[in-house]
Structure 1
Amino acid sequence: MKLSTLIGTGAVVAGAVAARDLTQKKHAILRNFPVLGHARYWLETIGPELRQYIVTSNEEERPFSRDQRTWIYASAKSQNNYFGFGTDVDVEHVQGHAYIKHRTFADTLPDGHDPLSTLPSAKVLGGPRGRAKAFRPNSVVNISAMSFGSLSGAAITALNKGALQAGTMHNTGEGGLSPYHRQGGDLMLQIGTAYFGCRNDDGTFSIDKLKEVVASAPVKAIEIKLSQGAKPGLGGLLPAAKVTPEIAAIRGIPEGKDCASPSRHTAFRDVDSMLDFVEHVAAETGLPVGIKSAVGEMGFWRDLTRQMEGNKRGVDFVTLDGGEGGTGAAPLIFTDSVSLPFRMGFSRVYGTFAELGLTDQVTFIGSAKLGLPENAAVAFALGADMLNVAREAMLSIGCIQSQKCHEDTCPTGVATQNKWLAHGLDPHDKGVRCATYLITLRKELMKVAAAVGVAHPSMISANDIEIFSGDYEARTLASVYGYKDGWGEIGSQIHQDLMSVLTTKSKFNELG
């Protein structure tokens, strides 16, 4: 066959492949990079072999290892997410690794026949303080705060569609409530230091605008962001070039002008005034109101618990972020060294509440790489009532950990405002994948709870997990973080209420 014929045939084939890639909606990489994108999937297929002999092991990559990403991808696609031929972990030498202790006998186990693996929160959000719109969250796993602007409209749409299908909440992030958040999924509205979407012209907070936003969408709770794990204590600047008409309208800021987010709130200045602000927002909206923060110095938390003790004022929930959080781009010093890692920070804050007997009054939400079953189980054992997942949710809708979030060049269209790149992400298909991942994570948590011999992950205790501390040595989670007897366990009344809910749900599923 002549060379010219071969070239012509190749061009026709390439053209056909390109046409198919551009019109299909399942793979953002192929839609954005037709023909060339197939190389990525070929390399992915032989990746384990390449790493085994040339590069790294399945456990060495960061921030998410290859095994972790494989589990998320397979879970999101309803594929087999099991691993064969044993673990890649050096089980007798990896310090910090968690080992969950199973029980031989158990009285009550999770409902393993629930197709959606509905896993409600043990606590009623806003219940202890009698909020008008207190409720029991349908899912202990929810989507964490990621703003439109940081993520594309297509990505936000996919996440909210996933939240709707999985029955979870979707945190808006501090960038305001966009049209992309309005796909039917329940929302947690985040208020940041710039008060986007609920601010006056001078940048101060407006309760009237907040109430308008809340009334316009299925907002179930309000989260006041004090800081986040990726860049605690650091403000931000949205340059004029990025303040498009759409973003300006959503955030309530002037189009085409620099917009600075201060590092601290202006609506309050200390714990006392913050609690006044919380109660004001709760009274005006009827919604549960909480705070989100990374953990640094502990004076703030001691002051907060002292002022909540025996007082009618208080937060309904606390979202605690770890320093390993990463959905916000930040200077290297902040990503590496500012704020405590999740386990250390969460345990210190939880202990501060436990010392004063306040843990049953507050719902504790954990954040920072908790969308993986092992990390999630540890969080529950430390006292978390619910989990927020961010990067794991991004991975479920197509993120490949290219770490280009801050460059606006995300190849999968997740973390970019580039319209060409974002168009590769089909919100309908990725919404299904997001929902499937969330449901699968709940299934895994139910399996872990069953192995431990309890009916719900929140009943896993700090004595049910041991942390490897050296060659052939391990300590219980309780001893590592100084937990006293009973810490991390839900109160008797909450336990009874939860068991009633789980029993009713199980009977309903049997009848269905």
Structure 2
Amino acid sequence: MRRFLPLLLVWVLGTGAVLASLARSPWWWTVAVPLLAAACLGGRDLLQRRRPVLRNHPLVGRLRYRPERAAVRRGPAGAREPSGDGVGVRAVPVRVAHGPDDEYLVSSLRPVEASEEPPSVRVGGPGCTRPYDMALLNVSAMSFGALSARAVLALSRGAELGRFAQDTGEGGLSEHHLRGGGDLVWEIGTGYFGCRDADGGFDAREFADKAALPEVRCVSLKLSQGASPGTGGVLPGVKVSAEIARERKVPAGETVVSPAAHREFATPRELVLFVARLRELAGGKPTGFKLCVGSRQEFLAVCRAMVAEGVAPDFVVVDGSEGGTGAAPAGLAGHLGMRLTEGLITVHNALTGVGLRGGVRIGASGGVATGADIVRRLAQGADYTNAARSMMRALG
């Protein structure tokens, strides 16, 4: 397989250098020894069981272990970051300033003591009857199908142990999400997987039945995502097993292309009314939508529709164009929509401007891995954050 080619190449070159040193010149040992050492290191990577990345990508997988990834790995292992002054963890003022080269968090000479209780934010506006206390860091949207059953189950169990939420992704609400026992944010995409009728439209009855499950704490309507706004996701046919086909109500073995837009609404007013309908069908659970902001005018039009209809979502999750996915056309990834910083500020200011910010929580999704990332996003207008890549790195 291709991922083992670097190790195979090192073995072949090392063996050739040894033969050359025996047959031609002892100077070849200066080449052979480093190559054989690298080959032995790659063999160790291949046989060890602690780090799946190294086992699947011997030698080259070591290039991935940088400081940020090391911090992510230490978290699941139960290690704690030491504080610089040795007197314990302290709260950082939520403000970002800009220096000549980069932005930085503003420190204080009198920081306040952090609470021992993990912080959370209550999600649920005036139209919500069953609010939910959201952790400041949660599992971002990753679908069953894009991830394996074991990975989905592991994330669900991690969410239960860590007391945070897991977004199901748009691939449907599978038994693997439910088995782990963690709190779930059920994401509904343009394909309506998990609540899809025979024609590919929205099935209200099936949605209501699944939304009533106790594990489902919130419902998120996906308008777009960071790496592929304006395009539908693609799940290759080779990954569409019988189980995935059953969950999504699509033919097994055939490539699944999600529509670019929703069929249930077309205007800003229809969007906010559909969100209200989902909240009613979900029994009053917090309901919102996710998007990667493109046009400021379009989002302002949605805000005006909220005011005109007297209906607002309980939350808005802002995805940044730097978000990653394997479901987007390669030529578009990272080139459509605003970066997360600009998108967050746009959404926060727009909701504030129409007087709705107090009842609508904002989630931030894109490149969150450390505590500093969380504080930075809170400073830019978010109430909580979601992470995908750091969670996958924690899994290996």
* Common fold: TM-score over 0.5: yes
1:65/1:349 Cα in 2 relative to 1: closer, same or farther (>3 Å)? farther
1:174/1:110 Cα in 2 relative to 1: closer, same or farther (>3 Å)? same
**CA deviation after TM superposition for structure 1 residue 96, in Å:** 5.4
**CA deviation after TM superposition for structure 1 residue 275, in Å:** 1.3
- Match for 1:27: what amino acid? R
Q: Which position in structure 2 is the counterpart of 1:11?
A: none
3-state secondary structure, aligned to 2:262: coil
Give the alignment partner of residue 231 of structure 2, picking from 230, 234, 256.
Answer: 234
Which structure has the higher relative contact order (CA within 8 Å, separation 6+)?
1
Are residues 1:261 and 2:258 paired?
yes
Q: Superposition pairs for residues 468-507 of structure 1, below 5 Å?
A: none
> Aligned partners of 1:132 and 1:160: how far apart in 2?
25
Q: Identity over aligned residues, as a percent? A: 33
- Match for 1:185: what amino acid? G
Q: Which position in structure 2 is the counterpart of 1:422?
A: none
Contact 2:140 / 2:386 at 8 angstroms: preserved in 1? yes
**CA deviation after TM superposition for structure 1 residue 243, in Å:** 2.2
1:358/1:244 Cα in 2 relative to 1: closer, same or farther (>3 Å)? same
Q: Which position in structure 1 is the counterpart of 2:123?
A: 125
Q: Which position in structure 2 is the counterpart of 1:153?
A: 149
- Match for 1:325: what amino acid? G
3-state secondary structure, aligned to 2:334: helix
Contact 1:169 / 1:188 at 8 angstroms: preserved in 2? yes
Contact 1:367 / 1:387 at 8 angstroms: preserved in 2? yes
Q: Which position in structure 2 is the counterpart of 1:100?
A: 105
> Aligned partners of 2:164 and 2:102: how far apart in 1?
29
> Aligned partners of 2:45 and 2:385: how far apart in 1?
39
- Match for 2:107: what amino acid? H
> Aligned partners of 2:79 and 2:289: how far apart in 1?
37
Name the TM-score, length of structure 1 as normaliser: 0.61
**CA deviation after TM superposition for structure 1 residue 307, in Å:** 2.0
Contact 1:129 / 1:312 at 8 angstroms: preserved in 2? no
Are residues 1:206 and 2:203 paired?
yes
**CA deviation after TM superposition for structure 1 residue 298, in Å:** 1.4
- What is the RMSD computed on CA atoms of the aligned residues? 2.9
Are residues 1:28 and 2:24 paired?
no
Q: Which position in structure 1 is the counterpart of 2:28?
A: none
Deviations 1:100-141 (CA, angstroms, capped at 9, x unpaired): 2222235x5322xx3xx52111xx312x3232222322x111
More off after superposition, 188-197 vs 310-319:
310-319
Are residues 1:220 and 2:217 paired?
yes
Q: Which position in structure 2 is the counterpart of 1:361?
A: 359
Q: Which position in structure 1 is the counterpart of 2:319?
A: 321
**CA deviation after TM superposition for structure 1 residue 81, in Å:** 4.6
- Match for 1:160: what amino acid? S
1:215/1:355 Cα in 2 relative to 1: closer, same or farther (>3 Å)? closer
Name the TM-score, length of structure 2 as normaliser: 0.78
Give the alignment partner of residue 338 of structure 1, picking from 331, 336, 339.
Answer: 336
Q: Which position in structure 1 is the counterpart of 2:14?
A: none
> Aligned partners of 2:182 and 2:133: how far apart in 1?
16
Contact 2:132 / 2:218 at 8 angstroms: preserved in 1? no
Give the alignment partner of residue 191 of structure 2, picking from 194, 201, 205.
Answer: 194
Q: Superposition pairs for residues 127-142 of structure 1, below 5 Å?
A: 128-137=125-134, 139-142=135-138
3-state secondary structure, aligned to 2:120: coil
Q: Which position in structure 2 is the counterpart of 1:109?
A: 113
> Aligned partners of 1:96 and 1:321: how far apart in 2?
25
Contact 1:98 / 1:378 at 8 angstroms: preserved in 2? no
Deviations 1:172-206 (CA, angstroms, capped at 9, x unpaired): 00001112212100000000000001000110001
Give the alignment partner of residue 289 of structure 2, picking from 254, 275, 291.
Answer: 291
Deviations 1:461-485 (CA, angstroms, capped at 9, x unpaired): xxxxxxxxxxxxxxxxxxxxxxxxx
3-state secondary structure, aligned to 2:333: helix
Deviations 1:431-480 (CA, angstroms, capped at 9, x unpaired): xxxxxxxxxxxxxxxxxxxxxxxxxxxxxxxxxxxxxxxxxxxxxxxxxx
Q: Which position in structure 2 is the counterpart of 1:426?
A: none
1:333/1:243 Cα in 2 relative to 1: closer, same or farther (>3 Å)? closer
Give the alignment partner of residue 276 of structure 1, picking from 273, 277, 294.
Answer: 273
1:102/1:78 Cα in 2 relative to 1: closer, same or farther (>3 Å)? same
Are residues 1:67 and 2:67 paired?
yes
Q: Which position in structure 2 is the counterpart of 1:388?
A: 386
- Match for 2:206: what amino acid? K
Deviations 1:248-281 (CA, angstroms, capped at 9, x unpaired): 1111223344433110000111111111111111
Q: Which position in structure 2 is the counterpart of 1:377?
A: 375
1:83/1:68 Cα in 2 relative to 1: closer, same or farther (>3 Å)? farther
3-state secondary structure, aligned to 1:250: helix
> Aligned partners of 1:349 and 1:29: how far apart in 2?
37
- Match for 1:77: what amino acid? A
- Match for 2:361: what amino acid? T
Deviations 1:42-73 (CA, angstroms, capped at 9, x unpaired): xx4xx7xxxxxxxxxxxxxxxx8822112212
1:382/1:201 Cα in 2 relative to 1: closer, same or farther (>3 Å)? same
> Aligned partners of 2:377 and 2:65: how far apart in 1?
19
Contact 1:289 / 1:316 at 8 angstroms: preserved in 2? yes
* Runs of 4+ that moved beyond 6 A: 18-22
Contact 2:269 / 2:306 at 8 angstroms: preserved in 1? no
Contact 1:327 / 1:390 at 8 angstroms: preserved in 2? no
3-state secondary structure, aligned to 1:197: coil
**CA deviation after TM superposition for structure 1 residue 382, in Å:** 1.5
Contact 1:198 / 1:252 at 8 angstroms: preserved in 2? no
1:95/1:172 Cα in 2 relative to 1: closer, same or farther (>3 Å)? farther
> Aligned partners of 1:266 and 1:208: how far apart in 2?
17
1:32/1:281 Cα in 2 relative to 1: closer, same or farther (>3 Å)? same
Contact 1:228 / 1:293 at 8 angstroms: preserved in 2? yes
**CA deviation after TM superposition for structure 1 residue 25, in Å:** 5.6
> Aligned partners of 1:133 and 1:97: how far apart in 2?
41
Contact 1:244 / 1:255 at 8 angstroms: preserved in 2? yes
- Match for 2:202: what amino acid? F
> Aligned partners of 2:327 and 2:83: how far apart in 1?
33
Contact 1:301 / 1:349 at 8 angstroms: preserved in 2? yes
3-state secondary structure, aligned to 1:280: helix
> Aligned partners of 2:332 and 2:361: how far apart in 1?
28
Structure 1 regions of 5+ residues with no counterpart?
Answer: 1-17, 48-63, 85-92, 399-512
**CA deviation after TM superposition for structure 1 residue 329, in Å:** 4.0
> Aligned partners of 2:247 and 2:280: how far apart in 1?
25
Contact 1:226 / 1:291 at 8 angstroms: preserved in 2? yes
